[in-house]
């Protein structure tokens, strides 16, 4: 059992032991959750679940908590062979993705790296060049620059709070040293992107190796 556990933890993903992966990606706004989630879902050939798209209805109308939970619950239950879900929304019910995941990926790059990317993304959305975070939710100049709901302000003000919340989870469920041994499944990717890029390549190699074995 110890050798099997060691092998599993040296793999880029744990899964459920039967080839199914339920992955929750967390991190601050702009940290790269959607980009990583879409890439990971494609590699694993499982559905990608965007909590932003569940949360935001056209015109920036928030989904009620019960509706959010029901839609997220349905999206996970409809895909028993695995899924990749990204987002936070813990007070709305997003915590269920974390609790039911086989793997948790925490994206924690330096603010100086991802904040400029978020600003660029926001400008592209303002110019209707970039895809909105959810269909029918176009960015507006007044909200971006003159509102307390500004995504730019949210990114800056939430950086340290998000880090504290995820560090607390890491302390409990970190893959190598989490306090709750049976729940160890969380990986943190910080730095400038090299570690994350290498890990995605390891996942790709794992998938190829599995297909060859079958």
What separation in angstroms does the CA of 31 have from each of 49, 186, 207? 17, 17, 25
Q: Which residue has the tokens 């993304």?
A: 121
pLDDT for position 9: 60
Q: Count of CB atoms within 10 A of residue 80's CB?
A: 9
Average confidence (pLDDT) over 181-206: 97
pLDDT for position 3: 36
Share of the chain above pLDDT 90, in %: 85
pLDDT band with cut points at 50, 70 and 90 for residue 8:
low
Measured CA to CA, the distance from residue 27 to residue 194 in angstroms comes to 17
What is the pairing mode between strands 61-62 and 56-57?
antiparallel
Q: For 39-55, give the DSSP string.
A: HHHHHHT--EEEHHHHH
| 137 within 8 A of 3, measured Cβ to Cβ | no
What separation in angstroms does the CA of 207 have from each of 13, 16, 54, 128? 10, 15, 29, 36
Report pLDDT digits (tens) over 10-26: 799 999 999 999 999 99
Q: Evaluate if residue 143 carries a pLDDT over 90.
A: no
Q: Which residue has the tokens 């990317």?
A: 117
Measured CA to CA, the distance from residue 105 to residue 14 in angstroms comes to 12
Measured CA to CA, the distance from residue 61 to residue 54 in angstroms comes to 11
Average confidence (pLDDT) over 14-40: 97
Measured CA to CA, the distance from residue 41 to residue 21 in angstroms comes to 10
Q: pTM of the full predicted structure?
A: 0.92
Q: Evaluate if residue 214 carries a pLDDT over 70.
A: no
Mean pLDDT, the chain, whole residue set: 92
Report pLDDT digits (tens) over 50-101: 999 999 999 999 999 999 999 999 999 999 999 999 999 998 999 999 999 9
pLDDT for position 2: 36
Biggest alpha carbon–alpha carbon distance for the chain: 58
Q: Evaluate if residue 163 carries a pLDDT over 90.
A: yes
What are the structural domains, with CATH classification, of the chain?
A: 21-110+162-208 (3.40.50.300)
- The encoded tokens of residue 10 equal 């040296």
pLDDT for position 42: 98
* DSSP designation for 128: T
């Amino acid at each position: 059992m110890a050798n099997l556990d060691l092998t599993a933890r040296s793999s880029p993903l744990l899964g459920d032991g039967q080839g199914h992966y339920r992955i929750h990606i967390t991190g601050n706004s702009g940290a790269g959750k959607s980009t990583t989630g879409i890439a990971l879902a494609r590699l694993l050939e499982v559905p990608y679940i965007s909590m932003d798209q569940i949360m935001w209805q056209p015109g920036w109308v928030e989904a009620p908590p019960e509706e959010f939970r029901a839609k997220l619950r349905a999206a996970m239950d409809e895909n028993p062979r695995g899924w990749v879900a990204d987002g936070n929304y813990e007070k709305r019910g997003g915590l269920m993705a974390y609790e039911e995941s086989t793997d948790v990926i925490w994206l924690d790059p330096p603010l100086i790296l991802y904040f400029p990317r978020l600003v660029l993304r926001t400008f592209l959305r303002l110019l209707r060049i970039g895809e909105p975070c959810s269909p029918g939710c176009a960015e507006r100049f007044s909200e971006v620059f003159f509102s307390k709901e500004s995504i730019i302000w949210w990114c800056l003000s939430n950086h340290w709070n998000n880090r504290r919340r995820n560090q607390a989870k890491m302390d409990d469920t970190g893959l190598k040293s989490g306090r709750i041994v049976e729940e160890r499944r969380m990986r943190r990717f910080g730095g400038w992107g090299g570690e994350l890029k290498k890990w995605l390549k390891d996942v790709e190699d794992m998938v190829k190796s599995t297909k060859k074995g079958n």
